């Protein structure tokens, strides 16, 4: 059987554990040469440890694949550019980037520190930009390449205590769409994946009530290996016409998410005043308002 990523060079950030690890393993199994990037920090980003990335590289090699470990942080521009340089130094080219690296610093909004907000933005949003920006010049020159960025229903829909994470993840949607628009002329694709999977980051979800415990048990059924096939597909030539989209993966379900478009409009030939907006415009629009839903309110059925 033909391997979908034969001889392609793929960077996977945050690939030492969880979803990133599974993506790196599958990409290698599909014939790619993989840069396994992970500084090995804790779920909140603290500390570093070479072991996670090195262990994934060893696992890939044991299975007959090709990989190299990289320990740079995505949260600063120069170290992030070194991840891209690692790919070209070792393998001579670059064909795909998976921006998976992430940390969590959950806290209800009025108690969230500035540092906690900025740290999460730097890893998720700025990190996705830094790595993509360094790779973009290579993709432009060779007129090919694929970006896979990770978003979340915390941003797409909503969640408690995650203003930093939600802002970063929705920002990534805008980043991905802009890359798709700006680089489409060079045959460069950019898509988002919103994963549902049990990882150490999800392990921070509170489990104090029976409902919370039941929700976490459902999430535990969803292994990170279920996310990898969609990512490998999006990196492959089979996805050459797929760009600017947002996909969700939940066990064996794949979703295509909607994107922001106008729902309703109201018009007044005389223009609007605050009073006429209150009297006419807002009552007409209110029927189409979105509720303050959370992800769990929308995805109410068990994973299948």
User: How does residue 161 score in pLDDT terms, banded at 50, 70 and 90?
Assistant: very high
Q: pLDDT digits over 185-203, tens only?
A: 999 999 999 999 765 555 5
pLDDT, the chain, mean: 93
Residues marked active site are found at 165
Give residue-wise pLDDT tens across range 28-40.
999 999 999 999 8
- Residue 221: what pLDDT? 72
Q: Is the pLDDT of residue 207 over 70?
A: no
Q: Is 112 helix (H, G, I), strand (E, B) or coil?
A: coil
Q: How confident is the model at residue 45 (pLDDT cuts 50, 70, 90)?
A: confident
Q: Which whole-number Å values give the CA distances from 168 to 104, 129, 138, 266, 298, in the listed order?
A: 11, 11, 25, 32, 21
| Residue 213 in this model has a pLDDT that exceeds 70 | no
User: All domains of the chain, ordered by start, with CATH?
Assistant: 9-256 (3.40.50.720)
The answer to whether 249 touches 268, Cβ cutoff 8 Å, is no
Between residues 263 and 220, the one the model is more confident about: 263
How high is the pLDDT of residue 113? 98
Mean pLDDT across the stretch 176-188?
98
- State yes or no: pLDDT of 15 exceeds 80: yes
> What are the percentages of helix, strand and coil residues in the chain, rounded to 5?
45, 15, 40
Q: Per-residue pLDDT for 119 more than 60?
A: yes
CB 53 within 8 A of CB 32: no
Largest CA distance in the chain: 73
**How far apart, in whole angstroms, are the C-alpha atoms of residue 192 and residue 243?**
9
C-alpha 62/C-alpha 68 separation (Å) is 13
């Amino acid at each position: 059987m033909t391997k979908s990523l034969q001889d392609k060079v793929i960077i996977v950030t945050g690939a030492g554990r969880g979803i990133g690890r599974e993506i790196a393993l599958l990409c290698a199994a599909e014939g790619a040469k993989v840069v396994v990037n992970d500084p090995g920090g804790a779920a909140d980003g603290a500390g570093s440890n070479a072991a996670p990335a090195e262990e994934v590289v060893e696992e890939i090699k044991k299975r007959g694949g090709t990989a190299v470990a990289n320990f740079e942080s995505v949260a600063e521009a120069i170290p992030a550019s070194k991840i891209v340089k690692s790919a070209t130094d070792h393998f001579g080219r670059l064909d795909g980037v998976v921006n998976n690296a992430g940390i969590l610093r959950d806290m209800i909004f009025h108690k969230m520190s500035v540092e906690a907000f900025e740290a999460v933005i730097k890893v998720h949003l700025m990190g996705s930009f830094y790595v993509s920006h360094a790779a973009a010049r290579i993709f432009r020159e060779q007129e090919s390449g694929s970006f896979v960025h990770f978003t979340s229903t915390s941003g797409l829909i909503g969640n408690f205590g995650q203003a930093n994470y939600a802002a970063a993840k929705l920002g990534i949607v805008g980043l991905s769409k802009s890359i798709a628009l700006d680089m489409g002329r060079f045959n460069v694709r950019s898509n988002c994946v919103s994963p549902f999977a049990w990882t150490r980051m999800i392990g921070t979800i509170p489990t104090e009530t029976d409902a919370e415990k039941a929700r976490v048990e459902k999430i535990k059924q969803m292994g990170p290996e279920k996310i990898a096939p969609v990512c490998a597909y999006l990196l492959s030539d089979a996805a050459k016409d797929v760009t600017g989209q947002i996909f969700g993966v939940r066990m064996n379900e794949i979703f295509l998410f909607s994107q922001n478009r106008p729902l309703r409009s109201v018009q007044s030939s005389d223009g609007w005043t605050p009073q006429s907006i209150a009297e006419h415009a807002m009552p007409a629009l209110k029927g189409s308002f979105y509720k303050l839903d959370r992800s769990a309110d929308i995805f109410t059925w068990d994973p299948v």
